[in-house]
Amino acid sequence: MNFNKLHFTKLFIFLMFVSIHSYAQDKDYGIFESSTDVGAVKNAGSVVYDSENQSYTISGSGTNMWGEKDEFRYLWTTLQGDFILRAEMHFIGEGVDPHRKIGWTVRNTLSSGSAMVNAAVHGDGLTSLQYRKTADAETLEVKSTDTAPDIIQLSRIGGTYYMSTARKGESFTTVELTDISLRNEVFAGIYVCSHNPDVTEHAVFKNVRIIKPAPADLVPYRNYLGSRMEVLDIESGTRKVLFESEHSLQAPNWTPDGKNLIYNSNGYLYRYYFENGEVEYLNTGFATSNNNDHVLSFDGEMLGISHHNAADDNASTIYLMPSTGSDNPRQVSMSGQGASYLHGISPDKKTVIFTGNRKGKYDIYAADTETMEETQLTDTPGLDDGSEFSGDGRYIYFNSDRTGTMQLWRMNADGSEPTQLTFDENFNDWFPHVSPDGKWIVFLSFGTDVRSDDHPFYKHVTLRLMPVEGGTPRIIAYVYGGQGTINVPSWSPDSRKIAFVSNSGRFY
């Protein structure tokens, strides 16, 4: 085979990458490249990666991370440009020194006196954003008002560093740093420092995520980041990445038999198998321009899709088909009426509910699956969306910004007696999904930096949980996502887990 110079260069780079990758995998560091003791620590540290739970246990010593020199155990990777680093972390045991530290640190080099930024949580709860402007300079800090947080996030966006922290289930407290300039190429990772040279401390880091956010010039719905398909265990709070893709993955449905996820990507539907991790194309016939509004019937036998119908000016149109696939899905929303975005199928499979563009605005409608006859269920000046039947068919849960912010509501199946369920001032709430056991609602919350009638890609969002009858929601996951994260029902059949999509550009 003849290789020209370009081909040879590409081959050399590929082989070099394989060599480096293989060397790094001599030890399993998960998403990180390597681990080392930084500085002249007295007791060598270590890292153990639990691949099943995707968690890390770090043991570290070190005199301190302060002044002109640092000593600590470091689990790191290399990054360029903007990033978001997030993890849930806690010490193991009471410890010896109240100033022991865990957190994220970003550094120019692996030297002990490197210029750096450090999101640090101390053993006594003190939380601060520490930094060293130049090599071997004094360490400075910006203290947070937060105390003893579990969730630590360190971001670099356009040269500004942000430390966001929270106790699990609560909203972030954020401080920022603008007067430091590290290299574009940095070391970034999690660490443990005992603050006592004779002592080794231990800490666990779970739900560790390294995220490359959307660039400022990204054009929504034309440019996309990659995706991570994740599953969250509600009780333990543990998140597991099932697989990653350079494609935009959206809206996973969990099948009632518990064996599969059905999700959307680039207008097509796919099936993921839990048993072996394989993915296969789900046949939708002519419908190859599907958006992320697809829904399974309660028994799992029927799949509803929203396909952009070329014969109707590309308006989103609703079709039904067997969940095993079909060459010819059956249309159940009328053409020529405006866009129809499916969100729910009644337990008896006789009715679909959807967000319809009618009369110059979007409201919730029901349609008979045989006659396509439509019934308007809501009529408000704002946006009503995200409708879903309860398991007994009595109620419809939905989101509406009729009060000024997007909130969750419930109404009878005929549209009567609308009742507000959430009353958030700092969140816009979307897509209520009722657990199969009928006890809980999980939903997506945007901040008020997003318009109430919008649910865009690539934002800091949270997944929140509350009792089905209403009450105070709690955060169960901090996610970089938004559109496509949890648009459709994605509870596991036993009501113990949910599937969702998070997003990131490639960082390796």
Per-residue pLDDT of the chain (508 residues; tens, 9 = 90+): 333 433 333 333 333 333 333 333 457 999 999 999 999 999 999 999 999 999 999 999 999 999 999 999 999 999 999 999 999 999 999 999 999 999 999 999 999 999 999 999 999 999 999 999 999 999 999 999 999 999 999 999 999 999 999 999 999 999 999 999 999 999 999 999 999 999 999 999 999 999 999 999 999 999 999 999 999 999 999 999 999 999 999 999 999 999 999 999 999 999 999 999 999 999 999 999 999 999 999 999 999 999 999 999 999 999 999 999 999 999 999 999 999 999 999 999 999 999 999 999 999 999 999 999 999 999 999 999 999 999 999 999 999 999 999 999 999 999 999 999 999 999 999 999 999 999 999 999 999 999 999 999 999 999 999 999 999 999 999 999 999 999 999 999 999 999 999 999 987 6
User: How far is the C-alpha of 184 from the C-alpha of 493, rounded, in Å?
Assistant: 46
Tokens of 249: 């993955």
Domain membership flag for residue 74:
yes
Domain membership flag for residue 309:
yes
Across the beta sheet with 116-122, the strand order is 34-38, 72-80, 185-193, 101-107, 116-122, 127-132, 140-143
What's the pLDDT at 508? 63
CA distances in angstroms from 341 to 333, 370, 385, listed in the order given: 10, 18, 9
What's the pLDDT at 12? 32
- Answer yes or no: do 163 and 232 share one domain: no
Domain membership flag for residue 13:
no
Listed residues 177, 211, 245: the one ending a domain: 211
- Answer yes or no: do 457 and 341 share one domain: yes
Domain membership flag for residue 26:
no
- Answer yes or no: do 368 and 496 share one domain: yes
User: How far is the C-alpha of 171 from the C-alpha of 168, rounded, in Å?
Assistant: 8
Domain membership flag for residue 450:
yes
CATH code, 39: 2.60.120.200
- Answer yes or no: do 274 and 308 share one domain: yes
- Answer yes or no: do 107 and 248 share one domain: no
Domain membership flag for residue 79:
yes
User: How far is the C-alpha of 279 from the C-alpha of 261, rounded, in Å?
Assistant: 9
User: How far is the C-alpha of 40 from the C-alpha of 112, rounded, in Å?
Assistant: 8
- Answer yes or no: do 53 and 124 share one domain: yes
Listed residues 170, 185, 211: the one ending a domain: 211
- Answer yes or no: do 186 and 267 share one domain: no
- Answer yes or no: do 261 and 203 share one domain: no
Instruction: With residue 24 as reference, give the H or E element that holds it.
Output: helix 5-24
**Which position has the token pair 């993955």?**
249
Domain membership flag for residue 4:
no
Q: In the 8-state DSSP scheme, what is residue 63?
A: S
- Answer yes or no: do 199 and 240 share one domain: no
CATH code, 500: 2.120.10.30
Q: Is 438 left (phi over 0), alpha (psi -120 to 50) or beta?
A: left
User: How far is the C-alpha of 114 from the C-alpha of 109, rounded, in Å?
Assistant: 6
Tell me the HSE value of 467 on the side-chain side, using a 13 A CA sphere: 4
Q: Please name the amino acid found at residue 138.
A: E
| Residue 157 CA, distance from chain mean position | 18
- Look at the chain and report how many structural domains it folds into: 2
- Answer yes or no: do 142 and 239 share one domain: no
Helix (H, G, I), strand (E, B) or coil at 351: strand
- Answer yes or no: do 152 and 301 share one domain: no
Domain membership flag for residue 8:
no
User: How far is the C-alpha of 314 from the C-alpha of 294, rounded, in Å?
Assistant: 17
**Phi, psi torsion values for 162, nearest 5 degrees:** -125, 130
- Answer yes or no: do 202 and 233 share one domain: no
User: How far is the C-alpha of 403 from the C-alpha of 417, rounded, in Å?
Assistant: 16
Instruction: With residue 443 as reference, give the H or E element that holds it.
Output: strand 440-447
Enclosing domain of residue 297: 226-504
What's the pLDDT at 6? 35
Listed residues 143, 177, 211: the one ending a domain: 211
Q: In the 8-state DSSP scheme, what is residue 491?
A: B
CA nearest to 83, candidates 230, 186, 221, 191: 186
